[in-house]
């Protein structure tokens, strides 16, 4: 077997039984790994709706074929479960070293079920899996827990105090990287599981070592010479987008009431680099090195990503960069998703401003926020309400029109009234208001290319293509930043060139062609390593006959399977929507195009996807994807 360790362990915390979980070669080829294989395992494990906080719910931690392969940016791994925040399937991706060490222990994944009666952690080695007592780790935050677990050659994946207290958006941390979204850390806490450590010396065989090595060198060179992955991200990190987003009215400001912030220069990537950057840092095998190292509380720690700068900065009218650095570090230590935390606080501030919930929080007054992180993690005072997430806060206090979530998951920092495709992506994302699972079409709508964000034309087809692409890149095991190589450099570098402007204007008109290729992926039965190296690398590692067409179809297969699981969990087509603020209120009073035109795009989206009018995948579509017999 090439590209896989060949084993997945199933651990029952209630009984203490550890056994092998069988995965066929056909399933590996159909679902690859990561979030897509996890969805297959979850579909097979549940026959009806499952509550997040229940003994039946499982945690599925999966690696992928490129994990530990030395492909660029391939230290990724995934954890999937039923989310306590949304009640739907959630997959959370992480770039720490745990996935590499899990593979060295000889496992492609872990399935963790049941509830331990004691506080425990899992020790996974190439010799055995042991359930160990975690009394000495309980009540401690992520940094201290990882220190206590010790060892340089050990992968660690742990929760902080927020997870123990089942904050509905608690994260799980590996090193300084977070599996942040959807509350996977709360499920760990519910199961009395403090974390998992992994170690070993197993290796994974590669199908064609020489071919893989050659492609790998070319891929790394392409990333290092691309303007986005070789210049922008290393220089400024994802924080480079703050200024561009502000200029294009894409920056979430004052609970998404507008798209630009007067003090954006105080929280942008340039200020972060000039005044706070100590050095760059990246995940294992990453040639991009987009991570920032900064100081918080006198220590060198991980700096904030774009999402954190937006949600804890402009969204709260917080122009104090050091405050954001401190808040980011505290959220990592307590184990909180910074996106949901920032969104909840922004919503609470507006509720207070409108007199619906007198909580003492006000826009621009951010000195109390560091103490508020602790209150949320420990569920003290107003922190107990904030720990429930925006949707539940709105159900208790009102303000649902400006509660900025989709399906219960708070949306990211991109204000979609200036990016129609991003709005559609949020509305249709399987895990809720996620920019990545939503397809990240904003990369065409001003943050990579300069396609108009005002037009809805063609956006349904492009959203679907990018959603499927993001799905399968994650399933393969690499960072989504590697997809930037799809964007022709000439279009990125020369946005004001007359020919480039013409191309950007014409791109929406090719939506019909994109839709046609989506339904006829066999026409892409080839590889173009210089544009999309991922399928070729998977072919070299696994021996699968992977082409661009079969690669994208794997993403579509995974996306549809996740949809089926969510429908079984109670999702309805009417849930593919956005907060009223985004669809009914103009972002800019004199611009009638400055709201999301969701109904017209959604109709096209369902049709192209092969879903019925209620958003249910048709039997013919599922059969075409190799999912015959799969149903709600």
Judge if 120 and 166 occupy the same domain: yes
The interaxial angle of helices 459-476 and 34-45, nearest 10 deg, is 90
* Per-residue pLDDT reduced to its tens digit, 258-295: 999 999 999 999 999 999 999 999 998 899 999 999 99
Contact 504, 462 (CB under 8 A): no
Q: What is the CATH number of the domain that holds 100?
A: 3.60.9.10
pTM of the complete model beyond 0.85: yes
629 lies in some domain: no
Among residues 45, 111, 38, 112, the alpha carbon closest in space to that of 76 is found at 38
How many Å apart are CA 37 and CA 587, to the nearest integer?
A: 40
Judge if 90 and 176 occupy the same domain: yes
How confident is the model at residue 1, as a pLDDT? 82
Q: Under 8 Å CB-to-CB from 415, ≥6 apart: which residues?
A: 245, 249, 250, 251, 252, 253, 256, 258, 259, 587
Cβ-in-10-Å burial (0-12, 13-18, 19+) of 582 comes to buried
What sign has the CA pseudo-torsion 351, 310, 95, 424? positive
Per-residue pLDDT band at 530 (split at 50, 70, 90):
confident
Judge if 216 and 167 occupy the same domain: no
How many Å apart are CA 171 and CA 187, to the nearest integer?
A: 10
Considering 370, 398, 426, which residue would you say is the last residue of a domain?
A: 398
- Half-sphere exposure of 269 toward its Cβ, with a 13 Å CA cutoff? 22
Judge if 192 and 214 occupy the same domain: no
Considering 398, 432, 457, which residue would you say is the last residue of a domain?
A: 398
The interaxial angle of helices 534-542 and 209-225, nearest 10 deg, is 160
Per-residue pLDDT band at 370 (split at 50, 70, 90):
very high
Distance, C-alpha 468 to centroid of its chain: 14
Residue 275's φ and ψ, nearest 5 degrees, are -105, -15
How many Å apart are CA 216 and CA 117, to the nearest integer?
A: 47
Q: What is the 3-state secondary structure (H, E, C) of 462-524?
A: HHHHHHHHHHHHHHHCCCHHHHHHHCCHHHHHCCCCHHHHHHHHHHHHHHHHHHHHHCCHHHH
Q: What is the CATH number of the domain that holds 594?
A: 1.10.599.10
> The tokens of 93 are what?
């991706």
Judge if 318 and 252 occupy the same domain: yes
3 lies in some domain: no
Judge if 313 and 332 occupy the same domain: yes
204 lies in some domain: no
Question: Hey, what long-range contacts does 355-358 have (CB within 8 A, 24 or more apart)?
Answer: 356/397, 356/398, 356/399, 357/393, 357/397
Contact 200, 106 (CB under 8 A): yes
Judge if 76 and 216 occupy the same domain: no
Question: Hey, what long-range contacts does 583-589 have (CB within 8 A, 24 or more apart)?
Answer: 584/401, 586/417, 587/249, 587/258, 587/259, 587/415, 587/417, 587/418, 588/249, 588/259
Among residues 600, 577, 589, 521, the alpha carbon closest in space to that of 553 is found at 521
403 lies in some domain: no
* Per-residue pLDDT reduced to its tens digit, 310-322: 999 999 999 999 9
Residue 147's φ and ψ, nearest 5 degrees, are -65, -45
Pairing status of strand 8-12 against strand 18-20? antiparallel
Q: Under 8 Å CB-to-CB from 74, ≥6 apart: which residues?
A: 66, 67, 68, 285, 477, 478, 479
Judge if 318 and 191 occupy the same domain: no
Give the H/E segment covering residue 621.
helix 619-624
Other beta carbons within 10 angstroms of residue 270's beta carbon come to 14
Contact 468, 549 (CB under 8 A): no
Considering 349, 364, 398, which residue would you say is the last residue of a domain?
A: 398
How confident is the model at residue 68, as a pLDDT? 87
* Per-residue pLDDT reduced to its tens digit, 468-503: 999 999 999 999 999 998 899 999 999 999 999 999
Per-residue pLDDT band at 520 (split at 50, 70, 90):
very high
Judge if 160 and 298 occupy the same domain: no
* Per-residue pLDDT reduced to its tens digit, 372-385: 999 999 999 999 99
Q: What is the 3-state secondary structure (H, E, C) of 45-64?
A: HCCCCCCCCCCCCCEEEECC
Over residues 376-404, mean pLDDT: 98
Q: Under 8 Å CB-to-CB from 582, ≥6 apart: which residues?
A: 256, 416, 417, 423, 595, 596
Name the average pLDDT for the chain. 96
Judge if 170 and 136 occupy the same domain: yes
> The tokens of 196 are what?
């998992």
507 lies in some domain: yes
Give the structural domain span for 236. 210-398
How many Å apart are CA 57 and CA 262, to the nearest integer?
A: 45
Judge if 74 and 151 occupy the same domain: yes
Report the number of distinct structural domains present in the chain.
3
411 lies in some domain: no
153 lies in some domain: yes
Distance, C-alpha 321 to centroid of its chain: 24
Q: What percentage of residues in the chain have a pLDDT greater than 70?
A: 100
* Per-residue pLDDT reduced to its tens digit, 576-625: 999 999 999 999 999 999 999 999 999 999 999 999 999 999 999 999 99
Cβ-in-10-Å burial (0-12, 13-18, 19+) of 254 comes to middle
* Per-residue pLDDT reduced to its tens digit, 460-476: 999 999 999 999 999 99
How many Å apart are CA 413 and CA 104, to the nearest integer?
A: 36
Per-residue pLDDT band at 59 (split at 50, 70, 90):
very high
Residue with tokens 């401190």: 326
550 lies in some domain: yes
How many Å apart are CA 124 and CA 127, to the nearest integer?
A: 8
Judge if 78 and 25 occupy the same domain: yes
């Amino acid at each position: 077997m090439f590209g896989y360790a060949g084993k997945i362990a199933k651990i029952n915390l209630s009984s203490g039984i550890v056994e092998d979980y069988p995965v066929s070669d056909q399933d590996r080829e159909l679902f690859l790994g990561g979030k897509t294989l996890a969805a297959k395992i979850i579909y097979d494990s549940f026959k009806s709706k499952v509550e997040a906080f229940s003994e039946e719910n499982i945690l599925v931690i999966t690696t992928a074929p490129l994990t530990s392969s030395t492909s660029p940016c391939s230290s990724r791994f995934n954890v999937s479960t039923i989310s306590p925040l949304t009640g739907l399937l959630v997959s959370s991706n992480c770039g720490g070293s745990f996935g590499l060490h899990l593979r060295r222990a000889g496992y492609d994944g872990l399935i963790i079920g049941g509830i331990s009666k004691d506080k425990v952690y899992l020790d996974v080695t190439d010799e055995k899996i042991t359930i160990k007592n975690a009394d000495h780790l309980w009540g401690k935050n992520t940094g201290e827990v990882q220190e206590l677990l010790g060892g340089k050659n050990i992968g660690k994946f742990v929760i902080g105090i927020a997870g123990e207290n089942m904050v509905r958006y608690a994260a799980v941390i590996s090193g300084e990287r977070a599996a942040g979204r959807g509350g996977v850390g709360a499920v760990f806490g519910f199961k009395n599981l403090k974390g998992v450590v992994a170690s070993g010396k197993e290796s994974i065989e590669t199908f064609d070592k020489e071919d893989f090595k050659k492609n790998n060198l070319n891929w790394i060179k392409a990333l290092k010479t691309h303007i986005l992955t070789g210049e922008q991200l290393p220089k400024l990190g994802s924080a480079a987008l703050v200024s561009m987003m502000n200029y294009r009215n894409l920056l979430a400001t004052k609970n998404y009431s507008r798209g630009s912030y007067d003090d954006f220069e105080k929280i942008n990537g340039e200020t972060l680099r000039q005044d706070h950057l100590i050095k760059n840092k990246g995940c294992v095998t990453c040639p991009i090195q987009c991570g920032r190292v900064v100081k918080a509380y006198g220590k060198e720690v991980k700096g904030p990503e774009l999402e954190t700068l937006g949600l804890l900065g402009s969204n709260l009218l917080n122009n104090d960069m050091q405050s954001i650095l401190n808040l980011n570090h505290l959220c990592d230590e307590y184990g909180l998703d910074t996106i949901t935390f920032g969104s909840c606080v922004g919503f609470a501030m507006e509720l207070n401003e409108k007199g619906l919930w007198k909580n003492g929080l006000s826009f621009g007054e951010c000195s109390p926020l560091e103490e508020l992180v602790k209150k949320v993690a420990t569920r003290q005072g107003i922190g107990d309400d904030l720990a429930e997430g925006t949707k539940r806060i709105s159900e208790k206090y009102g303000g649902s029109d400006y509660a900025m979530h989709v399906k219960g998951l708070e949306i990211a920092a991109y204000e979609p009234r200036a990016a129609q495709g991003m709005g559609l992506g949020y509305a249709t994302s399987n895990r809720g208001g996620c920019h990545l699972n939503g397809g990240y079409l904003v990369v065409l709508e001003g943050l990579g290319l300069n396609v108009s964000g005002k037009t809805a034309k063609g956006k349904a087809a492009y959203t679907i293509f990018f959603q499927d692409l993001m799905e399968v890149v994650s399933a393969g095991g690499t960072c989504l930043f590697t997809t930037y190589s799809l964007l022709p450099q000439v279009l990125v570098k020369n946005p004001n060139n007359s020919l480039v402007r013409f191309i950007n204007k014409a791109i929406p008109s090719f939506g019909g062609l994109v839709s046609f290729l989506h339904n006829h992926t066999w026409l892409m039965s080839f590889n173009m390593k210089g544009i999309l190296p991922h399928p070729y690398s998977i072919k070299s590692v696994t021996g699968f006959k992977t082409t661009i067409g079969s690669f994208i179809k794997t993403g579509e297969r995974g996306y549809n399977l996740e949809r089926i699981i969510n429908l079984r969990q109670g999702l309805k087509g009417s849930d593919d929507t956005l907060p009223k603020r985004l669809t009914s209120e103009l972002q800019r009073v004199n611009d009638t195009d400055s709201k999301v035109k969701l109904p017209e795009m959604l109709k096209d989206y369902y049709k192209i996807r092969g879903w019925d009018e209620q958003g249910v995948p048709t039997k013919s579509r599922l059969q075409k994807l190799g999912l015959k017999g799969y149903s709600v």
